[in-house]
Structure 1
Amino acid sequence: MINERVANFIKLQFSGKTILTLSFGNLREKENEESKEEDRSKRILVLNIICGTIISLIIRADLIVILGHLDRPYEVIGWDKELPKGFAWALLPFGCILTGCFISLGSKFWHDLLDLLLYTKQLKGKLVDARTYEQVNDIAQLQEFINAPEYKLSQLGVDKYRDNIKAIPGVLSVGTGYLKNGTSQIGCVEVHVIDAVGATHIPKELSVQLSAGGTVKIPVKVVVTGKQAETNSADAGKGVYNRSGVLGRGTIGAIVKDIYGDHFVLSCYHVLNGDLNWTRLSDSTDILDSNGASIAQLYFGFRTADMDVAIAKINNGVNFSNQQIRNPASIRSVYYDDVLRETEVNILGAKTGSIVNGFVYNDSWPAALKYPGNSLWELSDLIVLTRIDKTTNNYKTLTQGGDSGALVVDNKNFAIGIIVGGDNAFSYAIKLDKVAKSMDIKL
């Protein structure tokens, strides 16, 4: 934490020194006498609180106001936000002092507290799980089951049974998933099938053995997706495409820039590339917008086990903006917590033509996608997105052909992925933080 760094700097640089009439005393060396050590500890505590309060004032982190906006605390932190009015000005110093007191506790305290809260949440879920009392035989097995995160339990099932399940006719993909169990979620083996006929051959639960010897049953969740997942390319529709026209059209996900300040169009490799060769860039590099005007030149792209991305350098004189996608604040990673919270997302695809809202269904999923030319390619570690169809109460995709490359933005305006494909139930997105790191780009 910044507060710790500032306080440590003062302790190291000013210990034993006097500035004007202010004597810092000994801040570095532990005292042998108990009374002197207590005095030293008090001075360090006061120093931490003062530093924390000053930092809180600089960034205007008023704990009183923050507690009133726990759903969106970032909207009230900073002097660029709406300023307090009337009596709230008088409370501002007290709120910042309270913030200073809390952050003076140090990062270790908050990390330990977070670990404790997460463990308590997991323990609460395990205590209402019937498997806790039915499938373990001794204390060691019970302890291992309680300590095992749900995603690890589901991963054990996937690792053991994936190949056998994928051999069943009609099965498209197998991965880790989650089932609601009251107010919590438990890990499961999730199976996507083409139709209900394929679903009848899938077992309802699978048994896995833990290292302590206990056997645990992992539930199986079967989802009918209706068809093989396909890359979201189309022969017609607004968006972006390579002049060759071989791979159809897609969507400009975002305008990004590299470390040199050059700007690029970001989309999928199967949108911007100009031929069916997936191992190199095509000779056709001219990238056109939906009106057929040349806007960029294909610069770099690739398809790997977990990515299908490309960038095209914007031509001189071409105007560019991320305004239509609401200028995302930044890029962030997707976590298991997004699945538990069903984090809301929105997508603006060129083919769909309007913003579509949904939520994060899975944070890491393997999907075999049908590419132009009817070739299959499996991409792993994809974000799965969906919504609930109000008519049928089934899962419904957020995208359609021509939306490949569209940016996925969460409800706090952070970009998390780019659409690569979809079926009838789900849309699949590549993790944008991995793309940014691999290509050394940012919004």
Structure 2
Amino acid sequence: MLDSAIALTVILFVLSIVSEKFIQLIRSYPHTFSIILIAIAAFFFYRAIILFSYVFGNSVFDLLIIYILNLTLLAFSFVFLSAHRWNWIYGTKLSRFLFIVAWILILIWALCESAYSLYPFVGGIILFSSLISLGMRHDTISIGSKRVDLKFFKRIKKDFVVRKEVEDKEKKENEITVLSILIGVVIAFAFKANFFKLIKDFEKNSQKITIGWEEGEFPLKNIFSNQKPYFEESWTFDPIFLIGIFLTGFFLSFGSKFFHDLLDRLYYAKKANQALNDPEILNQTSAAKVSEFVESYNVEKTYHKYKSLLLNEPGIMGVSIQRKELVNRWVDYLMISLEGNHNGSFEEKVRSIIRDFEIPIQFESNVGKVELTSGISFKDSIENASTPKNKGSIAIEVYKEDKPNIKYLLTCFHVVKHPNHNWSGQLSNNPLDNRVIIGSGGKDNGTVINALRSSVWECALIEVDEFNSISPLQNLINMVIKEPRVLDKKDLSQDAFMFSRKKNSNQKGELLSHSCSFELDFPGDTNPFQMYDLIKVWNKQNQSPIQDFGDSGNLLYDDNGFALGIVFAKSNQFTYAMNINFPLNYFNVKIRKP
């Protein structure tokens, strides 16, 4: 239903903009527009006479009426223009007489059964109104003791000076309102925006609410030819249709600002409706908290929906959800990481992709490319026995509940991957390709028994022959590593730690995002690989990553010892880690405690 309401409002919004532009044009050049209308009216009369000269079977009375009407209105126009320009006529009797005669003839003609009565009727109204709006000496008539103003739009011009009297100001506002409705009706008719049909489509819950005339349906399609007008054959004046057009014109007179504000509210309602379906909304304790939750939900929804498309854009190397505190409230936003410098075109590009101009967006420049952080040899490194140049670190010792006495280690897949291994997890048939060297002993003392790279993690499970040559992480940090927990937005801006086996020291960083996506190159791949929903950390003081080459595989944990992720890549500013829950669940292992 909300989608239908948005579609309907968009249509009315666009039509109201068109109406508004025409109104501004008329108010800027009222006399010029009146002259254009006179030309249009003259064309209507010309078409009526031409058509009657071609049509047989009409009564002589019809033919005489059109000529008399035409000549009378021409004389009527000439007299009033003369009275205004050269002051040839000073009395009102002739003016009043011509006015009455002309309109009696128009009304008589409108009642004729001929299908062509529309032309002179419409033409007469346009011509008469245009002549009056141009200005004439006698623009009022007396009906009894009451004087009637014939000039309908005296005050619509933009530079018209309103006197201090409240009545004069109200008259100007009323004239502009009437003009807005008239233009709205014309625009509604031109686009066949029947309000009743729009509402009917809306009730069908259709997102494809349409307007416009079908091919060959427009009533005056043959107006520029000598053929009979189309409405003579199939067009009938449906009063419901005319009322629907008038109602649409009435609503268009509200102006584009009204529909723009309405669209904002409808979009917010749509997003809020999606957020309100989340059970977490029940935990919000105030209206402000609900609003903050809805905004956060919309940022998260946009991130998950468009992260891949955004990463496909040249120059964009990362997308993440981040947050900051503003006026005692937290605001979530999309952070777009750029490989190079930021220019104004990126925001326009991003907005066009996500199709939302309200989601908060920020940009960070010169982040550089993301690289895997395997490196050279060090004391506690791990490597594939057949590829000694690619070394990394161990995350944590784990175990299987059905095999509690066997020791297993977790590390990154890219650290121990052999060229004969497949990134989808297929290991080599040659046992030697699966052997690894753990620590500085120089001989192979472990085997890769399982591995996988997915879009959210890449890890390998190592079965250990012996574990004497490497120090357990929990001994190095004097802390028991607890079962992992899942980060959420409340953890952002908190501290995270990584013990660097290469540097033999604990590294402290700030959690920037728990939902970060980027592209990077893996060995053996021909195209960059997109990874999603990763952890993003940095050294806030130095604005740099907390790991170095060789630290791939190290564990990321919080100040309470809960395991968070496994570090595997970095840019020139940030450290990236994968959620450790994924490999633990996939390999069906748990963290071993001392």
- TM-score by structure 1 length? 0.60
Give CA-to-partner distance per residue, 1:281-307, whole Å, 9 cap, x none: 244122113422433121111111111
CA gap of 1:388–1:297, structure 2 versus 1, over 3 A, is same
What's 2:435 paired with? 286
Distance change >3 Å, CA 125–CA 288, structure 1 → 2: same
The aligned counterpart of 1:44 is none
| Residue of 158, 161, 178 corresponding to 2:303 | 158
Give the CA deviation at 1:187.
2.1
1:218 alignment counterpart: 359
**C-alpha displacement at 1:165, in angstroms?**
4.4
Distance 1:207 1:310 in 2: 40
Q: How does 1:198-347 map to 2 (within 5 A)?
A: 198-203=342-347, 206=351, 217-224=358-365, 226-238=367-379, 239-245=381-387, 248-259=390-401, 260-261=403-404, 262-275=406-419, 277-279=422-424, 280-282=426-428, 283=430, 284-291=433-440, 292-316=442-466, 318=468, 321-322=472-473, 323-340=475-492, 342-347=493-498
Question: 1:6-405 counterparts in 2 under 5 A?
Answer: 119-120=284-285, 123-124=287-288, 146=291, 148-158=293-303, 162=307, 165-166=310-311, 168-196=313-341, 198-203=342-347, 206=351, 217-224=358-365, 226-238=367-379, 239-245=381-387, 248-259=390-401, 260-261=403-404, 262-275=406-419, 277-279=422-424, 280-282=426-428, 283=430, 284-291=433-440, 292-316=442-466, 318=468, 321-322=472-473, 323-340=475-492, 342-373=493-524, 375=526, 376-390=528-542, 395-405=543-553
Structure 1 residue 421 and structure 2 residue 566: aligned? no
Q: Structure 2: how far apart are the matches of 1:442 and 1:273?
A: 23
Q: Aligned partners of 1:339, 1:315: CA distance in 2, in Å? A: 38
Name the stretch that deviates more: 239-248 or 307-316. Answer: 239-248
Query: Contact 1:234–1:249 at 8 Å: present in 2 too?
Result: yes
| Matched residue type, 1:378 | Q
The answer as to whether partners of 1:407 and 1:419 remain within 8 angstroms in 2 is: yes
**Counterpart Cα distance in 2 of 1:268 and 1:169:** 28
Q: Report the 3-state secondary structure (helix = DSSP H, G, I; strand = E; otherwise coil) of the residue aligned with 2:391.
A: coil
Over 3 Å counting, the alpha-carbon distance change for 1:263 and 1:372 in structure 2 is: same
Larger Rg: 2
Q: Percent identity?
A: 19
CA contact (8 A) 2:322 2:335 kept: yes
Q: In the aligned structure 2, how far is the partner of 1:181 from the partner of 1:396?
A: 25
Q: Any stretches of 5+ residues in structure 2 without a counterpart?
A: 1-278
Unpaired runs of 5+ residues, structure 1, are 1-113, 127-145
Q: Secondary structure at the match of 1:172?
A: strand
Between the aligned partners of 2:509 and 2:557, the Cα distance in structure 1 is 10
Query: Quick check: which one's strand share is greater?
Result: 1
Partners of 1:208 and 1:172 lie apart in 2 by 15
Q: Residues 113-170 of structure 1, C-alpha deviation per residue, up to 9 Å, x if partnerless?
A: x97995237x4467xxxxxxxxxxxxxxxxxxx2743332113443676566445432
1:266 is matched by which residue type in structure 2?
L
Higher helix share: 2
- SS of 1:396's partner is coil
- Retained in 2: the 8 A contact 1:157–1:207? no
* Aligned residue identity for 2:508: N
TM (norm. structure 2) is 0.46
* Cα distance, 1:338 vs structure 2: 4.0
Q: CA RMSD in A?
A: 3.2
